[in-house]
Amino acid sequence: MSSPANKWPTFLIVATGVFMSTLDSSMVNIALPFIMKDFHSSLADTQWVVMIYLLTITASLLFWGHLSDRLGRGKVYTAGMLIFGLGSLACAFASFLGFLVFARFCQALGAAMMMATGPAIIKETFPKEQLGRGLGLIGMAVSLGLMSGPSLGGFLLELASWRILFFITVPLGLVFALLAIRILPGPTKHYTGPLDWLGSLSWATALVLLSLTLTHASSASWSATRLLLTGGAGAGALGCFIAVETRLPYPLLAMSLFRNRHFTLAIISAVLSFMVLFAVILLAPFHLDRVLGLEPSKIGLVMLAIPSSILVVSPLAGWLSDYIGARIISTLGLAVSTLGVLLLTTIQASTPPLIIAGQLMLLGLGQALFLSPNSASVLSHVEASKAGAAAALLATARNLGMLLGIAQATLIFSLSFRGLTNGLDLRDFRPEHTASFLTALHGTLFGAAFTGLLGTAASWFRGNSEHHHPEK
Domain span including residue 434? 254-464
Residue 472 lies in a domain: no
Same domain, yes or no: 264 and 411? yes
Report the CATH number at residue 164.
Answer: 1.20.1250.20
Residue finishing a domain among 227, 247, 267: 247
Same domain, yes or no: 37 and 135? yes
Residue 470 lies in a domain: no
Work out the percent of the chain whose per-residue pLDDT is above 90.
Answer: 21
Tally of residues, the chain: 472
Residue 235 lies in a domain: yes
User: What is the chain's percent helix, strand, coil content, to nearest 5?
Assistant: 80, 0, 20
Question: What pTM, to 2 d.p., does this model score?
Answer: 0.77
Residue finishing a domain among 147, 175, 191: 191
Distances (CA, A) of 177 to 71, 74, 110, 432: 17, 11, 11, 53
- The single-letter code of the amino acid at 180 is A
Same domain, yes or no: 325 and 366? yes
Same domain, yes or no: 350 and 407? yes
Same domain, yes or no: 225 and 281? no
**Digitized pLDDT (tens) for each residue of the chain, 472 residues in all:** 444 557 788 888 888 888 888 787 777 777 776 787 788 776 557 777 877 888 888 888 888 887 877 777 778 888 998 999 899 999 989 888 889 999 999 999 998 888 888 877 877 777 766 666 676 677 677 767 766 777 777 777 778 888 888 888 888 888 888 888 877 766 555 555 677 788 889 988 998 888 778 767 766 677 888 889 999 999 999 999 989 888 887 777 777 778 778 888 989 999 999 999 988 887 888 888 888 888 767 777 788 788 778 777 877 777 777 777 778 888 999 999 999 999 999 999 989 999 999 999 999 899 888 887 888 777 776 766 666 667 778 878 887 888 788 778 878 888 888 888 887 777 777 888 889 989 999 999 999 999 999 999 999 988 765 444 443 3
* CA–CA dist 71, 116 (Å, integer): 13
* CA–CA dist 297, 434 (Å, integer): 22
- 3-state class (DSSP) for residue 421: coil
The pLDDT assigned to 1 comes to 45
Residue 211 lies in a domain: yes
Residue finishing a domain among 152, 176, 191: 191
Q: How many helices (H) and strands (E) does the chain have?
A: 18, 0
How many distinct structural domains can be found in the chain?
3
Residue 140 lies in a domain: yes
Instruction: Identify the burial level of 96 via C-beta atoms within 10 angstroms of its C-beta, where 0-12 means exposed, 13-18 middle and 19 or more buried.
Output: exposed
Same domain, yes or no: 203 and 186? no
Residue 421 lies in a domain: yes
- C-beta separation of 81 from 118 below 8 A: no
Same domain, yes or no: 173 and 293? no
The pLDDT assigned to 49 comes to 83
Residue 150 lies in a domain: yes
Neighbours of 350 (CB within 10 A): 8
Same domain, yes or no: 126 and 33? yes
Same domain, yes or no: 290 and 422? yes
Same domain, yes or no: 77 and 202? no
| Torsions phi, psi for 42 (to 5 deg) | -80, 165
Same domain, yes or no: 36 and 77? yes
Same domain, yes or no: 224 and 172? no
Question: First-to-last CA distance in the chain?
Answer: 22
Residue 262 lies in a domain: yes
